[in-house]
Amino acid sequence: MTGVKDKVTGAMASAPEQAWTRLDRAIPSGAASAAATAATGAASMTAGAAVSSSKQAASFVRDARTRFDDVKVQMADFLRLWIKQRVFNQIEKRIDKLPEVAKDLVEDPDMPRCISRGKDTAIDLLWPDARAEIMWELAVMIDGKKTDVIDDTRPGKDCVRAFLRYHLLPYNKSFWGKVRDPVYIITTLVSLIPISGVCQIFYMLMFFLIDKKDEYQLLSFILMFKGTQFISHGILRTIIGYFQFLSCVSAAGRSDHSCAEDGPGTAGSVYVILFTYVVQVVMVWLAFLLLPYSEDKGRSQLRSLAYEHGQGENRSSLRQNGGWMLRLMILDIVVFGLIFAVLIVVIIRRGKLDDWTVEHALFSCQVVYGYMSMPFFIFTVPYIQIILTHSVPTGYDEKGRCQKFIGPPKPETPKQKKTREALLNSLPSDMEMGQLVDKLKDLYTGMATSAVAVAAQGVMTESTPIVLGPTPVATPAATTMGARE
């Protein structure tokens, strides 16, 4: 029995080897090797396809995430712009009611009808210019860019012009800051020296010093002479001339007078006075002629709000540089021509220029020309100047470059800080915009998921509602109730 058992055990152990030997004999060696190679290649291709699919899926996810982040930023910017536009439009509707309110406030039942109509006409005439500036300041307040950053890429001017520009017309100093500057004080005192031609030479220096490509600088130069001419050449010369005439005629108590020596306009050389005065007037006219070719360098820029200065107003004073000032240029030329035509007649009749009657006539022409400059005096009022000229104040930095006037740095008071924070808190923040976009994403994702689920069940009909938001999960109670139905 033991021998039979050993034979059976040996036959069972050698059976697999015999089977593999017979299989190797039945299958050629090349076919087996090819099968093994094919199996290995198929496994490698499968693994490579899996890796490639995984990389493509990861790349798709990254691209989708990047695109969604871009859409998120664009959506946040769009919503912020939409809110700003709505606020701007609502305030604009309230501002458009101000002219009627102003007319009602000034109206008096006892006022003559002609004066009442003139009052209404004046408000209607000036309101478009005032509205343009109010709406622009509102747009800058809501969507303006930061303007106290100096453009350092522009080249500076030569050292002389840069020094004088910054000390006489600085962009970061008010009047009280300039009076602390010794250079400003000395230059101003020199311009006030009571010698014939000194003041005119100072104005000539200022004309060559300013940036003649900036609208505000040209207007400031014009008003530097014409704006104060009503007082300096009109009112003050009238008072001075009256006392000089009284002194040379009545104070002496004699029948003859001494007006040929100490009368009005006899101080200084008539040649110097007349030449410098005419040159000064001509420089003002040159500044007028340069206005159409200037630019408003101090104008702020908006970030994204679709609004331009003077938008919606069809007024020539808004479309042209200088506003109403260019209209006054024609008036000034006509008045100057008529007044000094009288002076030419006096010179011709006397036969010479160096005569005391010609000096008196020149003095009188300057007085009349000063009074006729009264419309320019209105432009010297700060807020009126901005409304009628539509120019933004500018100044010069340490390198002589024209910049928007920002004034001295002012510490923020607690009240101003509270007002600013309240205004900023009223607008949606970047975090709130992001949360809103995330909610829109969840809403869109849930709507798409619901539509796919209903379509997969094959029960989507016209009456089947699409659930907005995440797909609802069926509860056990709902499932049981559905099964019973």
Same domain, 301 and 178: yes
Sequence-ordered strand ranges (E) for 159-212: none
Residues 279 and 379 in one domain: yes
Q: Does 62 share its domain with 164?
A: no
The verdict on 32 and 177 lying in the same domain is no
Cβ neighbours around 201 below 10 Å, total: 15
- The residue segments making up the domain with residue 37 are 7-66
Query: How many angstroms separate the CA atoms of 325 and 220, rounded?
Result: 11
3-state secondary structure of 275: helix
Contact between 167 and 184 under an 8 Å Cβ cutoff? The reply is: yes
Same domain for 270 and 158:
yes
Q: For residues 223 and 388, give the distance between their C-alpha atoms in angstroms, rounded to a whole number.
A: 13
Do 246 and 364 share a domain, yes or no?
yes
Beta bridge partners of 144: 302
Q: Which of 360, 380, 409 lies at the terminal end of a domain, its last residue?
A: 409
Centre a 10 Å sphere on the Cβ of residue 230 and count the other Cβ atoms it contains.
Answer: 21
Say what the pLDDT of residue 318 is. 57
176 and 277, same structural domain?
Answer: yes
Helix (H) or strand (E) run with residue 328 in it: helix 325-350
In a domain, 481, yes or no: no
Per the domain annotation, does 178 fall within a domain? yes
Boundary (domain end) residue, out of 66, 92, 116: 66
Question: Which mean pLDDT values do the consecutive 10-residue runs of the chain (485 residues) have?
Answer: 48 53 53 56 60 67 70 74 81 86 85 86 83 81 65 76 89 88 86 70 85 88 82 84 80 68 76 82 88 82 72 59 76 88 88 82 87 85 79 87 83 71 64 64 54 46 43 46 44
State whether 193 and 44 are in the same domain. no
Q: Are residues 193 and 281 both part of a single domain? A: yes
C-alpha to C-alpha distance for 212 and 73, rounded to whole angstroms: 43
d(CA 441, CA 354): 90
pLDDT of residue 78: 76
Phi, psi of 387 (to 5 degrees): -70, -40
Contacts 24+ apart (CB under 8 A), 434-438: 434/72, 434/76, 436/76, 436/79, 437/72, 437/75, 437/76
The verdict on residue 73 lying in a domain is: no
Identify the domain boundary among 47, 66, 85.
66
Q: Give yes or no for a contact between 249 and 257, defined as CB atoms under 8 angstroms apart.
A: yes
The CA distances from residue 418 to 30, 104, 406, 422, in Å, are 90, 35, 22, 6
Pair 26, 154 in one domain = no
Residue 36 located in a structural domain:
yes
Token pair listed for 363: 């003095």
My answer on whether 46 and 154 are in the same domain is no
Within a domain: 32: yes
pLDDT value, residue 28: 53
- Flag whether 173 is in a domain: yes
Q: Calculate Rg over the CA atoms of the chain.
A: 44
For residue 408 the two structure tokens come to 């001295």
Residue 474 placed within a domain: no
In a domain, 453, yes or no: no
Are the beta carbons of 206 and 225 closer than 8 angstroms? no
Give the chain's domain count. 2
Let me know whether 162 and 26 are in one domain. Answer: no
